[in-house]
Amino acid sequence: MLRAFEDMGFYCVDNLPVDLIPIFAELHAAGEGDFARAALLVDAREGLQLEKLPALLKHLKRDHPITLVFIEANEDALLRRYSETRRPHPLGKNYSVRESLGHERALMEPIRKLADVVIDSTQFNVHELRHFVTTRFKNPDTRPLLVSVVSFGYRYGVPSDADLFRACARTMARTQKSANTSAPSRKPANFCAASKAC
The per-residue pLDDT for range 125-180, each reduced to its tens digit, is 888 989 998 888 887 666 556 677 777 776 777 777 777 766 655 544 444 444 45
pLDDT at 162: 74
pLDDT > 70? residue 84: yes
Q: Which residues of 75-92 are buried (b: 16+ CB within 10 A; e: fewer)?
A: eeebeeebeeeeeebebb
Closest C-alpha to 170, from 183, 182, 155, 186? 186
| Domain at 2-137, CATH class | alpha beta
Cα diameter, the chain = 93
Most confident of 14-18, 31-35, 188-192: 14-18
**Whose CA is closest to 165, among 178, 181, 153?**
153
Domain locations in the chain as residue ranges:
2-137, 146-197
Element holding 33 (H helix, E strand): none
For the whole prediction, is pTM greater than 0.85? no
Give the pLDDT confidence score for residue 94 in this predicted structure.
77
Do residues 83 and 75 lie in contact, with contact meaning Cβ atoms separated by under 8 Å? no
pLDDT digits (tens, 9 = 90+) for 92-136: 777 787 888 888 888 889 989 989 999 998 988 888 989 998 888
